A and B are shown apart, each in its own frame.
Chain A
Amino acid sequence: MALWIFIIAVIAILLIVIYNSLISKKNQVENVFGSVDAMLKKRYDMIPNLVSSVQNYMQHERGTLNELTELRAKALSAGLSSDEKVDLDNKLSKALGGIMVAVENYPDLKASQNFLQLQGSINEVEEQISAARRAYNAAVTSYNNAVEMFPTNVLASMLSYKRKRVFEIPESERQNVNVQDLFNR
């Protein structure tokens, strides 16, 4: 009798531990995704500022600037799926990168204090976004491991937890790095 109670108690404790670790991993993923979102939003907030400070100089890049503004408006509209968000974000990175490279052709602009400060802020946000993405990927990897590995996978399938996708480092992201290299990183 006592043995049975003991065995049941051990199993119960094990279940609680496994369950809690799963939940904490899932919450960690959501928590970090929130941070990624917050960083992306910070970048969106910078775009109007960037556009207004460069548009007088950059006559040839009008098209890209307009595209940037439109993309931002889309990204801020409600009801986007996370895949759409990622997609928009990639396009936006690309456009932003294009602008930052084009700046090289405008020495006046490059020298202006206002722009330098803005450039610093943008670099900083890019770096923070990249950090948040890496943190997200680390959290997702740990979650995915739990979902697929024994014994946590048993409980995970009962709770119908599924694998989550990591942020793929898209081609545009690699280009981002190159852009920063241009600024003598």
Chain B
Amino acid sequence: MRTLEDLRKLYAQDIAPALYPLERERKRILRKFISAAAIVVLSMSALAFFLVPASPNFGVFSLILGAIILAFVYQWLIKDYTSDFKTAVIQKIVTFIDPGLAYSKHGKINRSFFSLSGIFRQRLDKYSGDDHVTGAIGKTRIEFSELYTACVERDSRGRRHEKRIFKGLFFMADFNKDFIGKTFVLPDTAERMFGHVGTLFQSMNRFRGELIKLEDVDFERQFAVYGSDQIEARYILSTSLMKRILDFQKKTGKRIYLSFVGSKLFVAIPYGKDLFEPRVFRTILHFDPIKEYFQDLQLAIGIVEDLNLNTRIWTKQGNR
């Protein structure tokens, strides 16, 4: 287990020197972006100035057009910078946490695994992700990446809009016991306020099998468990694993989703922020963002330890 002290050393020796050229690049991009923004604002104001007398709608139109152009310019400007940054920093942190792990900045968890997990049942119209990490921790094979998935819906006026299904970190690992059925451990929304999340919850749970009432009261308060087999679900969710899942959930401070399918464990941790992306509007010459990348990575990689997946005292042995 790597500590923050170790990370500080790595930062001083390895990461910081690589950050100087990147910081210069960042400043250059920022200057370009500011001039691009100035040009766009000026030309859009000119456009609005001439067209608004014809119809006030053109005011809104030029505002939206300007925003779209700026968004494209921004993406185009930071593309290489982001890529270089990930090679110089994220790659290093991943290898630092465990040299056996491989990192791919453009890779992502295979879509079929996301579907297999069965955690989110909505139709997948959009599936994207990056920062894919694969490898083995001890006897357990793991894989995770950042994912963004959404479905496209039409509202009553026929307009298409994207509805987010999941955004965050999606983790999968080889589970240490064999099983054939499916078990889902989902945040228990029924006990909280209903509303948008409540309806989402209900729409998700129609085909998940029986509700499984477990004896751990704290666990029941946080999670609702569904599964294809009452006994198998308890075989997987031993009393010790329930406690470990609870502790892990507290550690993340988030509403996590777990599923056990095909002898695999899937964990979905929702994040509001974009993970493992470099700062553009603030300096990157600072330890804090590095610490944040490290902690986010460590959280996922630490699942093996936190949920005790390397304990192979049953018939299923690990594979390296």
Contacts and interface: CB of A to CB of B under 8 A. Distances in A.
Interface of A: 32, 35, 117, 119-121, 123-124, 127-128, 130-132, 134-135, 137-139, 142, 180, 183-185
B238 A119 contact: no
Mostly helix, strand, loop or mixed at chain A's interface? helix
A135 B230 contact: yes
A131 B314 contact: no
B177 interface: yes
B235 A127 contact: yes
Contacts of A183: 313
Given A35-B231, A120-B315, A138-B215, 10 more contacts: A123-B313, A127-B177, A127-B235, A127-B314, A131-B231, A134-B214, A135-B230, A139-B230, A185-B240, A185-B313
A35 B240 CA distance: 22
Contacts of B235: 127-128, 131
27 contacts: A32-B231, A35-B231, A117-B315, A119-B313, A120-B312, A120-B317, A121-B315, A123-B313, A123-B314, A124-B177, A127-B235, A127-B314, A128-B235, A131-B233, A131-B235, A134-B214, A134-B234, A135-B231, A135-B234, A137-B215, A138-B212, A138-B213, A138-B230, A139-B230, A183-B313, A184-B311, A184-B313
B232 interface: yes
A46 B311 CA distance: 22
Contacts of A142: 213
Contacts of B238: 127, 130-131
A183 B308 CA distance: 13
Nearest to A124: B314
Given A120-B314, A184-B311, A131 B177 contact: no
Given A137-B215, A138-B215, A131 B313 contact: no
A7 to B, nearest CB: 33
A107 to B, nearest CB: 18
Nearest to B312: A120
Scoring A135, A142, A184 by chain B CB atoms within 10 A of each residue's CB, the highest score goes to: A135
Nearest to A139: B230
B160 to A, nearest CB: 44
Closest 5 pairs between A and B when the two form their complex, measured CB to CB = A131-B234, A131-B235, A124-B314, A120-B315, A135-B230
A130 B239 CA distance: 10
Contacts of B214: 134, 138
Interface of B: 177, 212-215, 230-235, 238, 240, 308, 311-315, 317
Scoring A35, A127, A134, A142 by chain B CB atoms within 10 A of each residue's CB, the highest score goes to: A134
Nearest to A118: B315
Contacts of A123: 313-314
Contacts of A119: 313
Contacts of B212: 138
Nearest to B236: A131
A26 B214 CA distance: 19
A166 to B, nearest CB: 10
Nearest to A39: B231
Contacts of A137: 215
Contacts of B311: 184-185
A184 B310 CA distance: 11
Contacts of A117: 315
B154 to A, nearest CB: 40
A121 B177 CA distance: 11
Contacts of B213: 138, 142
B227 to A, nearest CB: 11
Contacts of A32: 230-231
Contacts of B240: 185
Contacts of A131: 231-235, 238
A109 B233 CA distance: 33
Contact of B215 (A120, A127, A134, A185): A134
Contacts of A120: 312-315, 317
Contacts of B232: 131
A117 B238 CA distance: 21
B10 to A, nearest CB: 31
A128 B313 contact: no
A83 B315 CA distance: 31
Contacts of B234: 130-132, 134-135
B209 to A, nearest CB: 14
Contacts of B215: 134, 137-138
